[in-house]
Each structure stands twice: as structure tokens, then as C-alpha cells.
Amino acid sequence: MISTVEATPNIAVVKYWGKRDEKLILPTNASISATMDETLRTRTSVVFSERFKSDEAWLNGKKLEGKDLGEISRMLDIIRSAGKAKMKARMASLNCFPTAAGFASSASGMAALACAGTAALGLEISPKELSIIARQGSGSACRSVMGGFVEWTRGEKKDGSDYHAVQIADEKHWPQIRNVIAITEKTKKKVSSRAGMKQTVDTSSLFAKRIADLPNVLDAMRKAIRARDLESFLGIAMKESTNMHAVMMDTWPPIIYLNNVSREIIYAVHDYNAAKGALEAGYTFDAGPNAHVYTTEKNAAEVRKMLGEIEGVQKTMVCRVGSGPKYLKNGKDALFEEDGTAKKHYYDEEKDRIVIG
Ligand code: PMV
């Protein structure tokens, strides 16, 4: 059976930075994110067959080989082991991201693969189990298997079975929330998050303080989301992002993901809030210099304009909180024929649609 799924990235407001188990991808702390809407999305089709001699994979129309194919095969192994299956698979994945986005697509990509792969094997699987599979592809991907506001729990068990996504509130809970994205750089980051967080755990003396403080931060963030308390939500998100970037800076050798434009965005958001006399916008930055500025519907256009006017900001986009992965049942949407024959496909950025055939 062929299965096709679209998944979206997520942006953390309480960050994951540090692992206690590198192989199973078990984090040193819980984290909280909002899943994004389809402004950015990855479509993935997976088909298993007794006829296939080996796994094959395509990303954005290009056939994967070597290490890249190995990474997909390793995820397919995890999916096969969940379904007690031996069949080889074909996977095609297409990122519908603006070329200027400068975003990592691993969260949406690995979430889409976990969903499409398990569905292609006909597995009845809970969102919790799905998040455990996605987690092993890329940590933050485990939060993209659900919509709304999502927590990735920090468990106790060695096998990682209690480290998974839990929905705090769905996408309808706080419909006014907007994420205004400001792209400041397109190039790939110099230090991968995998290598960077390991370096921080090994060398930062501030990291222990961060870990000790996080339970209270997580508690306050859960409460702010449940109560739709904007000032608390924005204040915690800004301080938390800054705290993660502080331990990155305290890493040896230092890791600096923010650039001069990010710094101008930080100042501009504080000036904006000062002019409003209240916290009405709040930034967060992942392992890169692009800003995600949370605000509400009524201020989104104003915030977008403000960010767009900062020198060095290349592109701005406005996202809502998304509803999570979508299973596309119509065979026309699949990136393969039912029997695994390749279909030509590409993303038409101008029309924001996938062209197949
Ligand atoms: O899962 P990774 O390897 O993409 O790491 C993501 C780490 C941050 O984006 C910086 C924070 C987070 O919680 O998403």
C-alpha cells in the first residue's frame, strides 16, 4: 500500500538543547513548541513491496545515496521493526519551502516519514508511538506529529519509551496567535544542532543552571498557554530563547548562531513593546539567525512591516498554529504510482503547489 502524508515544522518556545542518550535521542530536558501551519510543509510518500531489492529514496526529486540514503534506511528499519516487516521500501519526499527560507526541514521531514511509513505498513499506531519513531530521526521531529501546542516530555526510562510528544492544547485553543518569520540568512548553519548541543553538554558551566531552572520555566509556559496569557507566553519565550543562546555562547569553542540582523530584531521587538506599554510581540530563535516573532492576529501586519523594514531582513512570512500531519488519501497526490513507479514531481514556489506528472 502507498501512503502519502504532509507534515509541518514546529518552533519551540521552550527549547531542546542537549541529549542524555545520543542514539535514542533522549533530551536532557522537556521542551514545548507550536506546530506550524502549511506555509512550510513536507510531502512524503512511502511504499513497501516484496519486489524491491533495496530501499530507495528521493528528496526534492533527487535520488539519495550513501550517508543520506543510510539515514532514511535507518528510519525505515525502525518503522519495519514496529510492524515486524521485512519488505524494502521506496520513499519520495518534497519540501514545499520558499527557496529563501533557510530552514531546517528535518522536523517536518522525519515526522512525515514516520507517519507515511507506518501507514504504508497498515500499522494502527498511537500518536505517542508515532512521536517515538519520529524522535529517532530528528529529536524535534517528535513534536511535529501533533498539531497545536506540544510538549516533548522528559522521561526516566532507559529505553526512551516515556520521552514522547503530548498535546498541551490543539490549534483551535488560541486561534489569534501568529508567528511572524523574518529570514535573515539562507545559508546552512556552520555547526549542526547535533554537534553543537553535544559540545554544550560537554563544556558549558552555565548549562547545569539552565537544566535546574527549566522545570519552573516549563511549568510557567504550560500555564501561560492554557490560560492564553499573552504577556507571560511572550516573556517566557524571549527569555528562554536568550537563555539557550547564552549556553551556546558559553560552549567551548563558542557557538554563535545569531547574526547582526537577529540582534537588530531583538532590539526592535523590545522597542515595539515599550511603545505599546505591554508585551505584544516576542521573538524566539532556534539554532540559526532567523527570527520567529510571536504576536496576535491584530498586530501581525504591523509586526511584519516592522521586521521587513530592518536592514538585512530578506523575507517575512506569517504563520498560524497548525493542525499536524495530514494523510492524503487520493492516489493523485502520491509521489509514486501504487506499484512504486516514479512520478515526476516538483514544487512550484510561485503558485505554492506541488506539480505531479
Ligand atoms: O532536533 P534537532 O536536531 O533539529 O534540534 C533542534 C534544536 C532546536 O531547534 C534549537 C530547539 C528545539 O527545541 O527545536
99 has pLDDT over 70: no
Beta strand pairing call for 26-27 and 19-21: antiparallel
- Residue with the smallest CA separation from ligand 1 atom 9 is 286
357 has pLDDT over 90: no
Q: What pLDDT does 208 receive?
A: 98
Paired with 41 in beta bridges are 96
Cell 535507518 belongs to residue: 74
Q: How far is the CA of 13 from the centre of ligand 1 (A)?
A: 11
E strand or H helix at 75 = helix 66-83
Q: What pLDDT does 347 receive?
A: 93
By most ligand atoms within 8 Å of CB, the mutation choice from 15, 16, 105 for ligand 1 is: 16
C-beta 97 within 6 A of ligand 1: no
Closest ligand 1 atom to 244 CA: 10
Q: What is the pTM of this model?
A: 0.96
Summarize pLDDT for 254-311 with one digit per residue, the tens: 999 999 999 999 999 999 999 999 999 999 999 999 999 999 999 999 999 999 999 9
By most ligand atoms within 8 Å of CB, the mutation choice from 11, 14, 17 for ligand 1 is: 17
Burial zone of 128 (CB within 10 Å; 0-12 exposed, 13-18 middle, 19+ buried): middle
Beta strand pairing call for 353-356 and 345-348: antiparallel
Closest CA relative to residue 325, chosen from 122, 11, 69, 35 = 35
Closest CA relative to residue 97, chosen from 105, 107, 89 = 105
C-beta 184 within 6 A of ligand 1: no
% of the chain at pLDDT higher than 90? 92
Q: What pLDDT does 147 receive?
A: 98
How far is residue 173's CA from residue 117's CA, in Å, rounded to a whole number? 30
Q: Angle at Cα 193 formed by Cα 152 and Cα 66, nearest 5°?
A: 105
Helix 193-203 to helix 230-249 angle, to the nearest 10 degrees? 80
Beta strand pairing call for 26-27 and 315-319: unpaired
Cell 503547489 belongs to residue: 353
Scored b (16 or more CB within 10 A) or e, 283-302 reads bbbbbbbbbbbbbbeebbee
Q: What pLDDT does 186 receive?
A: 78
Q: How far is the CA of 113 from the centre of ligand 1 (A)?
A: 18
Mean pLDDT score, 179-190: 86
Q: How far is the CA of 202 from the centre of ligand 1 (A)?
A: 17
Q: What pLDDT does 100 receive?
A: 57
C-beta 194 within 6 A of ligand 1: yes
Q: How far is the CA of 231 from the centre of ligand 1 (A)?
A: 24
Q: Identify the band that residue 101 occupies on the pLDDT scale cut at 50, 70 and 90.
A: low
Q: What pLDDT does 281 receive?
A: 98
Q: Angle at Cα 159 formed by Cα 32 and Cα 251, nearest 5°?
A: 55
How far is residue 269's CA from residue 256's CA, in Å, rounded to a whole number? 20
Q: Identify the band that residue 190 occupies on the pLDDT scale cut at 50, 70 and 90.
A: confident
Name the amino acid, one letter, at 113. Answer: L
Contact indicator for 311, 261 with CB cutoff of 8 Å: yes
E strand or H helix at 296 = strand 291-296
Q: What pLDDT does 338 receive?
A: 87
Mean pLDDT score, 84-92: 97
Q: How far is the CA of 55 from the centre of ligand 1 (A)?
A: 27
Closest ligand 1 atom to 14 CA: 13
Summarize pLDDT for 143-166 with one digit per residue, the tens: 999 999 999 999 999 999 999 999
Q: What pLDDT does 145 receive?
A: 98
Summarize pLDDT for 112-152 with one digit per residue, the tens: 999 999 999 999 999 999 999 999 999 999 999 999 999 99
By most ligand atoms within 8 Å of CB, the mutation choice from 23, 284, 286, 290 for ligand 1 is: 286
Closest ligand 1 atom to 287 CA: 10
Secondary structure (H, E, C), 160-225? CCCCCEEEEECCCCCCCEEEEEEECCCCCCCCCHHHHHHHHHHHCCCHHHHHHHHHHHHHHHHHHH
Among the residue ranges 183-192, 210-219, 237-246, the one predicted with the least confidence is 183-192
C-beta 27 within 6 A of ligand 1: no
Cell 550517508 belongs to residue: 67
Closest ligand 1 atom to 16 CA: 13
Task: Give the chain's mean pLDDT.
Answer: 95
pLDDT top residue among 305 and 101: 305
By most ligand atoms within 8 Å of CB, the mutation choice from 193, 198, 242, 258 for ligand 1 is: 193
C-beta 193 within 6 A of ligand 1: yes
Closest ligand 1 atom to 106 CA: 4
Residue 110 CA, chain-centre distance (Å), reads: 9
